[in-house]
A = this chain, B = another copy of it.
Amino acid sequence: MPDLPIDNRGREILTAVVETFISTGEPVGSRTLSRSNREGLSPASIRNVMADLTDAGFLEQPHTSAGRIPTAAAYRYYVEQLSGTAHLSLTNEAMIHDSLQGITDVQEFMERTSHVLSLISHSVGVTVATGGSKSALEHVYFSRLTDQKVLAVVVTRSGLVRDRVLRLNLSQDDLELAARYINENFRGWTMEAMRAEIARRLDQERSEYDRLMNSIQQLYAGGALAAEGPAQTVYVEGASNLAASEEDRQRLQELLKTLEEKQKLVSLLGAYLDAKQEAVRVVIGLDEALPSMRNFVLIGAPARVGDEVRGSLAVIGPTRIDYQHTMTAVSYIARLFDKLLNETRE
C-alpha cells in the first residue's frame, strides 16, 4: 500500500478511529477523538480530517448525524502499519503451553490449537490438518475383515496413522504378501514417490497373471496407499463466541451454518494461506469468498514442519477483533508447531 492520500495527521486520526471503534463498537465522533488525542486538536479540526478520510473511502457514516466507522480499507491500512513486534501476554503464553505441551501428533495439536485460539481471540478458532504426502512410509498393514472388506493401515515415519476400509475381496495370504512386498521395497520412500513408482511398475509389468501384482493393483486402485487423500481434518472451536457479536439473528445463523460446512472452510484457508507465505496473513473482507462472512476477518498462518505444510491455523473473528493480540498468538503457535513436531521426526 504505497502513497495513500493520507498525511501524517490523517494516519494518526485514522488509527485512533479504528482503535476506538474496535474497543467500543460505537461510531466514533469528533468530540471523543479530541478528548483522547494527545495533541489536543479541537473537534472542528478533526471533523475536517474525518471528512477527507470519508471521501477517500476509509470511513463511513451509518447516517448523517452519527459518528464514523472504519471501512474494510481502513482496517487493511491499520493492520498494515501495526508494528510486527508485540509480545504475548503472560497468561496467554501460559495457556498455550498448558494446552500444547507434549503434543506429538498433528491431529491432536490441531484440535487443541483451535480451542486455544478461540479462547485467546474470543472468537472462532479454525485449524486444518492436511496429511502430508511428503512424509516417508514406515509400514503398511492389510487385514481381511469379511468377504467383501479389507482394512488397510498406513503408518508414516512422522507418526501419522491412516486407516481405511476397502471393498475388496482378497485372501489373507494375498494381503500379507502384498504388505510384505511394499514394506520391503518402499520403506522410507515418500508416499508420493511410492505411489508413483508402484503405478509405474503396475503399468509396465502388465503381468496380469502375477498374483502379487494383481493384489497390489486392487489395493492401489482402492486407495489403500493414499496417506493424504481426503484426510483433511477440520477443527472448529468457539462458535459460541459468535453469539455475543452484534450480528442479527439471521446473520448469526448463516454464520454458524457456514462454520459447519467444513469443506468451505478448507478451501477458504487454502485460498488465502498459501505455502509460500511465511508469516501471519490477515484477510479483511471475507464476504468476497463467503457472503455470510460479511464483517468478519481471517487471521491465519500455514502450519509447517520444516518446509512441509501440514495444515493451517486461523482465527475467524469480527472486524472488531484485537488484531495485534491475535496475530501474535497465531504466529507464536505456528512457530511452536514447527518446533514441537520437529522433535517427533528423526
For A165, the chain B residues whose CB sits under 8 A away are: 104-105, 159, 344
Q: Closest residue to A143 on the B side, CB-wise?
A: B138
In the complex with contacts A102-B167, A159-B149, A243-B252 CB distance below 8 A:
yes
A87 close to B (CB within 8 Å) = no
Question: Mind listing 23 A-B residue pairs with CB under 8 Å?
Answer: A102-B167, A104-B165, A105-B165, A138-B151, A139-B143, A145-B157, A145-B344, A146-B344, A146-B345, A148-B343, A151-B155, A151-B159, A153-B153, A155-B163, A165-B344, A239-B256, A239-B260, A240-B253, A240-B254, A241-B253, A243-B252, A243-B253, A243-B256
CA distance A161 to B139 in the complex (A): 14
For A345, the chain B residues whose CB sits under 8 A away are: 145-146
CA distance A260 to B146 in the complex (A): 37
A60 close to B (CB within 8 Å) = no
- Contact between A161 and B153 (Cβ–Cβ < 8 Å)? yes
Q: Closest residue to A250 on the B side, CB-wise?
A: B243
CA distance A104 to B141 in the complex (A): 18
Q: Closest residue to A166 on the B side, CB-wise?
A: B104
* Additional 8 contacts, C-beta under 8 A, given A153-B155, A244-B253: A102-B167, A138-B143, A145-B346, A151-B159, A165-B344, A240-B253, A240-B259, A244-B249
Q: Closest residue to A253 on the B side, CB-wise?
A: B243
Please give me the 7 A-B residue pairs with the lowest Cβ-Cβ distance, nearest first. Answer: A240-B256, A243-B253, A161-B163, A240-B257, A104-B165, A243-B252, A151-B159
Binding site for B on A (CB under 8 A): 102, 104-105, 138-139, 141, 143, 145-146, 148-149, 151, 153, 155, 157-159, 161, 163, 165, 167, 237-244, 249, 252-257, 259-260, 343-346
Q: How far is the CB of A267 from chain B (nearest CB, A)?
A: 19
Q: How far is the CB of A259 from chain B (nearest CB, A)?
A: 8
- Among candidates B141, B237, B238, residue contacting A139 with C-beta atoms closer than 8 Å: B141
For A149, the chain B residues whose CB sits under 8 A away are: 104, 159, 343-344
CA distance A259 to B243 in the complex (A): 13
Q: How far is the CB of A99 from chain B (nearest CB, A)?
A: 15
In the complex with contacts A141-B141, A243-B252, A343-B146 CB distance below 8 A:
yes
For A254, the chain B residues whose CB sits under 8 A away are: 240
For A153, the chain B residues whose CB sits under 8 A away are: 141, 153, 155, 161
- Contact between B243 and A146 (Cβ–Cβ < 8 Å)? no
- Among candidates B143, B157, B260, residue contacting A237 with C-beta atoms closer than 8 Å: B260
Q: How far is the CB of A262 from chain B (nearest CB, A)?
A: 10
CA distance A244 to B145 in the complex (A): 44
Q: Closest residue to A256 on the B side, CB-wise?
A: B240
